[in-house]
Amino acid sequence: MSILIIYSNYKFMVTLRVTRFHSVSNSYLLSDICSASSSFIALSLDELVGQCVIFFLAGYDTTASTLSFASYLLALNPGIQNTLYEELREVLQRHKGELTYEALQDMKYLDNVISETLRIYPPSPRLERLTEADFKLGDTGITLPKGMIVSIPNYALQHDPKLFPDPEKFDPDRFTAEERAKRDPYAYLPFGAGPRNCVGMRFALMQIKICLACTVTQFEMLRCSETKVPLEFHLGPGLLIPKGIHLKLKSREDKILLK
């Protein structure tokens, strides 16, 4: 779908909501964004549309690609997949088989698996920011002039062996609370950082957790004859997989029943 089509559709919907939100009784995300813009910080129409488009892309493209990469990594690492399955079983037993928000919050190893997937295969290999004023970089003698685009190579950062030893290894234990505390918080930037990080981050992560939990409880992910190792991809606006990801799904005999 063309980004221009997405933009024009959201511009129409935002314009409609902005002119009517006072009379809308239902609580929708789009209405909440428009309401917040009117009552707290005034955003331009383009800014409102931009935030909605980011939510759409985060909820679609990021979710789809991260689920594909996570499935690939789990298929190549059956021990990790089994550990994840056992956590899902234990947590869902405590929550009576209901995949609620509270149950998802208890799935710490699932969080780690997703975080490690995003480290190895970030949604965007680099981040860009535009300076709004001249900025002096500490005592370096370097000044970034207003209007300069600053590119942050987060793919390179997240594969730096000084920050993540053996960076090509899939190791969810890098993201335990103890391991996180040892690292600079800006070493890991799949969604950016600070007040201008990805506005759709929490929405995308929740979707990924639900989809991955539902899949792993029902199916075992396995390599097949067409599975590429290592995975072939190109760096572009995102990580592009020209030949796709091919795996085998096997229905679990001991699948977990969800309510």
Helix (H, G, I), strand (E, B) or coil at 98: coil
Calpha distance 259→244 (Å, rounded): 33
* Residue 214, marked binder: no
Q: What are phi and psi of 241, to 5 degrees?
A: -110, 90
Calpha distance 41→20 (Å, rounded): 18
Find out whether 199 and 55 touch, Cβ atoms under 8 Å: yes
Element at 108 (helix H, strand E)? helix 108-120
Calpha distance 77→85 (Å, rounded): 13
What crossing angle do the helices spanning 108-120 and 201-218 adopt, rounded to 10°?
110
Taking alpha carbons only, the member of 93, 90, 72 closest to residue 81 is 72
Name the DSSP letter for residue 236: S
Instruction: Give binding residues for heme as ranges.
Output: 198
Instruction: Give binding residues as ranges.
Output: 198
